[in-house]
Structure 1
């Protein structure tokens, strides 16, 4: 049995698996003409059983988006032997953010500079989607890829648009997609608990998934953790829907035990104390279930601008023989100069 499969211009090996999902798999392949390494997404029988317009949706979304923080589409081709269409994309050699978080060195979350990159790049990719009236519906670390540029720098890119669709901000949808731990509670209630709730969902469900993802990236852990994980689905729903506004995590450490709520990031988090004080309100806003308090995308983009436009000054405190970090930010303006009047700044955070 041959493990090689191909299309007109590409060939891939089914033993070189980059990722698998419910409707297909992604393999590493090469361009037959120039040997360029690529990623090839193929689709299984379950995918082909979906309505034709749903099958075509991912192709149409990928044709519509073009941004440095979204995995680049190279081609859509017909696989040989009539197996259907395949999607050929640029290869992100750094792997998925999920695999990166799985590394022992990232047990307690990413280092501060890397966290900044994820926030900035994820937000830029999401802004491009919203500018094109698209909703992703399956945001999670497994769908954020690390691309290593020729100069050695890193770019994080959104991928897997199998659940994506066009949706205006005020529009609603009723179909269910996503991954349990990252699902908005309203979707979790229908998709996981199977309750016949007469609710529709808006584009802002992506914001909840971003909140869970960023908490995971900052701490190495999921924010809402019932004892026993996925098998304790009712408790998971209880944690996400009963938490007070401003609470960013809820953990149950014993069977049927109490929930430990937290409004701050855990002490083991790799972010500096100053940055945590700026990031925590961002997480609290994203992980909001009160319909009257739910953020808009405009609010999210504005708040991220504040987080990513901070200026950090490293100071050595001679009397204490200690290195401290001072974080400055002024509204939503980017501050890149140190030679300014400090009294003009809104807030100063010190580590």
Structure 2
């Protein structure tokens, strides 16, 4: 049995699996003409059973987007032996953010500079999607790839647009996509609990998924964790829908036990106090079930711009003999307040 498959200009080995999903798999391959390594997404029988317009949607979305924080489309070709179309993309050798978080050294989340890089790049990619009236619908660390540039620097890129579609800010959709831990509660109710809820969904479902993803990146754990994980679905829904406004995490540590709510990032989080002051309200704004309270995309983009453009100031606390890192924006604000009070 041959493990090699190919299209006109590319060849890949089915044992070199980069990722698998419900409708297909991604393999590492090469360009036949120049040996350039690539990632090739193929589609399974389940994918081919979907309506033709749904099958074509991912191809159309990828043709429409072009941004440094979105995995680059190299080609769409027909696989040999009539197996259908394949998507050829640039290869991100750093792996997915999910695999990075799975590394023991990131058990408690990413270091501050790396977190800021993810925050900046994820937001830039999302802004490009919204500028093109696109909703991703499956945002999670597994769909954020680490690309290593020639100079050794890192660029994080959004990938997997199998669930993406065009959607204006005020438009709604009813189809269900996504990974349950990152799903907006309204979608979770229908997709996971299978309840016949007569609700439609807007582009803001991506904001909730971003909130869960950023909490995961900052802490190494999910914000909403029922005892027993996925098998305790009703409690998961209870946690996400019954939490008070401003609460960013809810954890159940014993079977049928109480929920431990928190409005703050956990103590083990590796972000400085200055950055926490900026990130915590950002998470609270994204993790709102109430459609009237959840932030708009514009506010999210603005707040991230503030968080990623602040300059850290290192202060040595003499009495406690400890180093404190605060953000320049707070120093600047305090400075202006002192001037104001002097008049």
TM score, norm. by length of structure 2:
0.96
CA offsets per residue over residues 205-256 of structure 1, 9 Å max, x none?
A: 0000000000000000000000000000000000000000000000000110
Shift of 1:350: 22
Structure 1 residue 326 displacement after superposition: 2.7
- RMSD in angstroms over aligned alpha carbons? 2.8
**Shift, 1:315, TM fit:** 3.5
2:16 matches 1:16: yes
Residues 15, 341 of structure 1: alpha-carbon distance in 2 compared, 3 angstrom cutoff = closer
Does the Cα contact within 8 Å between 1:314 and 1:325 map onto a contact in 2?
A: yes
Alignment check: 8 A CA contact 2:73 2:90 kept: yes
> 2:338, 2:139 → 1: CA distance?
32
Contact 2:273/2:326, CA 8 A, preserved across alignment:
no
Name the CA shift for 1:181/1:150 in 2 (closer, same or farther; >3 Å).
same
How far apart are residue 11 of structure 1 and its match?
0.3
| CA shift digits 1:302-322 (9 cap, x unpaired) | 111111111112234567654
- Separation of aligned partners in 1, 2:131 and 2:321: 49
Is the 8 Å Cα contact of residues 273 and 325 (structure 2) preserved in structure 1?
A: no
Decide whether the 8 Å contact of 2:71 with 2:90 is kept in 1.
yes
- Structure 1 Cα separation of the partners of residues 203 and 185 of structure 2: 14
Greater CA deviation, 313-322 or 208-217? 313-322
CA contact (8 A) 1:146 1:157 kept: yes
**1:328 CA drift (Å):** 1.5
Question: 8 Å contact 1:112–1:270 — kept in the other structure?
Answer: yes
Moved more, 287-296 or 4-13: 287-296
Give the gaps of 5 or more residues in structure 2: none
1:81-126 Cα distance to aligned partner (Å, 9 max, x none): 0000000000000000000000000000000000000000000000
Q: Is the 8 A contact 1:329 1:347 kept in 2?
A: no
Q: Is the 8 A contact 1:309 1:329 kept in 2?
A: no
Question: Is the contact between residue 25 and residue 43 of structure 2 (CA under 8 Å) also seen in structure 1?
Answer: yes
State the alpha-carbon separation in 2 of the partners of residues 13 and 325 from structure 1. 48
Which deviates more from structure 2 when the two are superposed, residues 73-82 or residues 307-316?
307-316
Query: Which stretch of structure 1 is more off in the superposition, 184-193 or 299-308?
Result: 299-308
Contact kept in structure 2, 1:225 and 1:250, CA below 8 Å: yes
- Closer, same or farther: CA 319–247 of 1 in aligned 2, 3 Å: closer
SS in 2 for 1:345: helix
**More off after superposition, 137-146 vs 307-316:** 307-316
Match of 1:103 in 2: 103
**Alignment correspondent of 1:335:** none
Gap regions ≥5 residues in structure 1:
331-339
With the length of structure 1 as denominator, give the TM-score of the two structures. 0.94
Secondary structure in 1 matching 2:319: coil
Query: Match of 1:324?
Result: 324
CA pair 209-225 structure 1, distance change in 2 beyond 3 A: same
The superposition leaves residues 136-193 of structure 1 with CA deviations (integer Å, 9 ceiling, x where unpaired) of: 0000000000000001000000000000000000000000000000000000000000
Distance in 2 (CA, whole Å) between partners of 1:325 and 1:189 is 41
- Contact between 1:274 and 1:350, CA under 8 Å: does it hold in 2? no
